[in-house]
Structure 1
Amino acid sequence: MSEQTFAVDHARVRLRALVWTVFVPVVLYGIGSGAAAPMFALRALDLGASAGVAGIVVALSGLGMVLADLPAGRIIARIGERGAIAVGSGVGLVGVLCAIFAPNAGVLAVGLLLNGIASAVWGLARQSYIVAVVPRAERGRAFSTLAGASRLGSFCGPFVGAGLVYAMGPSGALWLQFATTVLSGAAMLAIRSAEGDDVDSADHTLRSVVVENRRVLGTLGLAALLMGGARASRIALLPLWAAHIGVSAATTSLVFGIAGAMDVLLSYPGGIWLDRYGGRATGIPSMLLFAAGFAALPLTTSALELSSVAVVLGLANGVSNGIIMTVGADVAPPAQRAEFLGAWRLTHDIGMFTGPIAIGLISAATVLGASALALAAAASAGAVAMYRWFPGSTLRRDSPDADHS
């Protein structure tokens, strides 16, 4: 596709046009994932797994994402976004069915691994499509809305699935995930062709893309990794600390709900800020908020104090919604977009996968509070990395280059 045609495509697509083909399907997908996420551990326990084994089984979803990020980029480059969505939906449906009908924890583990793979393909296809059709000056809002839609679905999922779980047990939420995967996949298959839908015959491999872009992946990617670690560790550490100070499970759930609402509400305003002032001005405050929240966590001794820290961490996550996708889109080489974005997502997903593991290792060797302080230090290092390498203000909409990558 020529640059002229690509510019016309950009001029035709605004965020409102993506509501039913991108954002609503993401909410649906998030509802199913959010409903099913807390049920996988219970499903493992039902199959006779110990608490430790159940935790390992659940972690395989994150491993699936890490393993699939690079191949997902190549799949999208070869068959386009719509083809990749079809593949991802099919893999996800197989994974859910494995989880529903698993006769043992081993089959459940396979199902969760497939779920992670499907999430990686789905996520990268959505990102690549938005890069192809949304003007650069609006990417921050597009990606923050995308992230906010996913968070909104995950927030609503447990409430939507509660009746099914009451009637059918943990499998009820998994059937909801099956249904939402079908509906969201079908809706996204209605997207119109984008630049990335053509088969890519360029003479480059995954290895060559990583090697050619190793400086960007090693610098900006380090900041993305540290942000991924902070985000995932927030989810893992808060309930552990809540239990440590004697806060009940019901109260902990309420605390998460308040923080989750703050996360969703800040998504679009965060995107406007990102478009106007750029990745550095968005990422640094976000990482400093993460650092402040983690540093304050060991000082909390009550539900009210814990809620205050949870809100700070929710603010950090909400402000940063979409920043990793936006920065990755801005620095992606046009001729290697899908493969580069796969490698870029890998840096963030490695942080998401290893952050909770680091909490467990540090806590086992010392005390739980030490994990929070280590995370505060890592988040501070992330702020420094963003100051050093993240881009400043994005191109303005009226810039002559505003519609080009």
Structure 2
Amino acid sequence: MPTSPDHFSLRAIALPAFGPSLLFGFGEGAIFPILALSARDLGASSATAGLIVALVGVGSLLANLPAAALATRYGERRAMVGAAIFSLLGLILCLLANSPWLLGLGVFMVGLASAVFLLARQTYLVEAVPLHMRARAMSTLGGTMRIGMFVGPFASAGAIHFMGLSGAYWVAALAMLGAGLVSLAVPDLAPKTSSIGKPAPRLSMSAMARQHAHVLLTLGIGTALVAALRACRQIVIPLWADHIGLDAATTAMIYGLMGAVDMLLFYPAGRVMDIHGRLWVALPCMLVMGLSMMAIPLTSDWVSLLIVCLALGFGNGIGSGIVMTIGADASPAAGRTVFLGIWRQITDIGGSGGPLLLSGLTAVASLASGIVAVGSLGMVAAWMFWRWLPRGRPLV
């Protein structure tokens, strides 16, 4: 890794910084499409199958704060290796499962591991990358996860052809094993020192939350709304496609093209944030996503829905890494891992709460009303970023 910030290159740390994330995303992407099918094969109802799929997110939500404690205590490298091993055990449990609940336990373990893994990666990049390239590093981290999630299903499809549904879990297990092996090569970060040369004192989570309450309750909530909009996007598109009579193949095609647009924009987005400031990306990201979401009920065929979804993918793509970048900017040097654990907890609550809001509004009103209401969250987030996100490039 270069010692001079002026000559720093992301390429120099690409394997240790982004390799584990790519493989972890690949593993998760390999199993996501077949989790519900596996549950149904084991005799689960549709509602139970949906719950089992949701356990990935539930596990991540519950593990954010413990993940911060683990990474602080044992270091980022050990935390990542441990997360990869724990996820591998969860996948083996999925392979051996003879009941839906045993499958659910394995899925839950993968969700727990993902929180530890992603928090350790974010902390590593914040410390290892100079400030003037931070957004590019964070957007690339988000981008490699998306690439893995995008490619994983194709790899698992090939394995399923020869091995049945178990093939997807074997693909994921190999990916998790690779992530753990690559993580072994990642150096542990030296603890931050104070001005008198001693390690900075660690703050408890409650003390950290009190000390940084303002930024957590403003920009933190803003990024939670980003997470809510992103989570709802994955639900809204297939529901509305079914509502207007599109078949599964057409829906998958629309979703795939949207994902391709999303995946291609992560590095340019990071570069814009580094050169011009975070607001240049955060504001248009939320405006485009919010307006695109609200436009979905106006579509009536596959062409119009595709156009809107491409716009939605563009908005999400330019926002790649924005949640992690804003969190990194707001985090203190002393106790950074603890702060980022709290930050991820807030954003994950948004990611979990968005679909619940959509479901409730759809139940009491209509699907179109629920979609418009969720889209309006983008407008609220845009206002919050305009109000509290610093203009220009961060100076500290």
2:53 to 52, 58, 71: 58
Deviation of the 1:186 alpha carbon: 1.0
**Which whole-Å deviations, capped at 9, do the CAs of 1:284-336 have from their partners, x for residues lacking one?**
11000111111110011111111111111101110000111111111101111
The equivalent of 1:82 in structure 2 is: 77
Q: Is the 8 A contact 1:13 1:133 kept in 2?
A: no
TM-score for both structures, normalised by structure 2: 0.95
Structure-2 separation of matches of 1:83 and 1:310: 40
One-letter code aligned to 1:73: A
Q: Is the 8 A contact 1:327 1:391 kept in 2?
A: no
Matched, 1:46 2:45: no
Structure-1 separation of matches of 2:364 and 2:190: 50
Matched, 1:295 2:290: no
Consecutive unaligned residues in structure 2, runs of 5 or more = 194-198
Q: Alignment identity in percent?
A: 38
The equivalent of 2:261 in structure 1 is: 262
The equivalent of 1:329 in structure 2 is: 328
Q: Say if 1:272 and 1:254 are closer, same or farther in 2 by CA, change over 3 A.
A: same
The equivalent of 2:355 in structure 1 is: 356
1:112 to 98, 107, 124: 107
Q: Say if 1:229 and 1:196 are closer, same or farther in 2 by CA, change over 3 A.
A: farther
Aligned with 2:278: secondary structure?
A: helix
Q: Is the 8 A contact 1:145 1:271 kept in 2?
A: yes
**1:117-196 superposed matches below 5 A:** 117-196=112-191
Deviation of the 1:202 alpha carbon: 3.0
Structure-2 separation of matches of 1:100 and 1:317: 34
Structure-1 separation of matches of 2:288 and 2:140: 21
One-letter code aligned to 1:164: A
CA RMSD of aligned residues (A): 2.0
Q: Is the 8 A contact 2:277 2:393 kept in 1?
A: yes
One-letter code aligned to 2:92: L
Q: Say if 1:197 and 1:34 are closer, same or farther in 2 by CA, change over 3 A.
A: farther
Larger mean CA deviation between 324-333 and 121-130 belongs to 324-333
**Which whole-Å deviations, capped at 9, do the CAs of 1:195-220 have from their partners, x for residues lacking one?**
3599x883421222122212111111
Deviation of the 1:171 alpha carbon: 1.8
The equivalent of 2:63 in structure 1 is: 68
Q: Is the 8 A contact 1:137 1:275 kept in 2?
A: yes
Structure-1 separation of matches of 2:166 and 2:356: 27
The equivalent of 1:398 in structure 2 is: none
Deviation of the 1:8 alpha carbon: 4.2
Aligned with 2:334: secondary structure?
A: helix
Number of residues paired by the alignment? 392
TM-score for both structures, normalised by structure 1: 0.93
**1:386-401 superposed matches below 5 A:** 386-395=385-394
Aligned with 1:148: secondary structure?
A: helix
Aligned with 1:334: secondary structure?
A: coil
**1:268-287 superposed matches below 5 A:** 268-287=267-286
The equivalent of 1:3 in structure 2 is: none
Aligned with 2:75: secondary structure?
A: helix
Structure-2 separation of matches of 1:114 and 1:316: 32
Q: Is the 8 A contact 2:2 2:12 kept in 1?
A: no
Structure-1 separation of matches of 2:378 and 2:312: 11
One-letter code aligned to 1:122: F
Larger mean CA deviation between 310-319 and 18-27 belongs to 18-27
Deviation of the 1:24 alpha carbon: 2.9
Q: Say if 1:183 and 1:197 are closer, same or farther in 2 by CA, change over 3 A.
A: farther
One-letter code aligned to 1:154: M
One-letter code aligned to 1:362: L
Deviation of the 1:357 alpha carbon: 2.0
The equivalent of 1:14 in structure 2 is: 9
One-letter code aligned to 1:152: I
Matched, 1:374 2:373: yes
Aligned with 1:180: secondary structure?
A: helix
Runs of 4 or more consecutive aligned structure 1 residues displaced over 4 Å after TM superposition: 6-13
One-letter code aligned to 1:231: R
Structure-2 separation of matches of 1:126 and 1:361: 35
Structure-1 separation of matches of 2:85 and 2:203: 27
Structure-2 separation of matches of 1:334 and 1:160: 40
Q: Is the 8 A contact 1:266 1:319 kept in 2?
A: yes
Deviation of the 1:158 alpha carbon: 1.1
Q: Is the 8 A contact 2:2 2:9 kept in 1?
A: no
Structure-2 separation of matches of 1:291 and 1:264: 19
One-letter code aligned to 1:309: V
The equivalent of 2:196 in structure 1 is: none
Structure-1 separation of matches of 2:341 and 2:391: 23
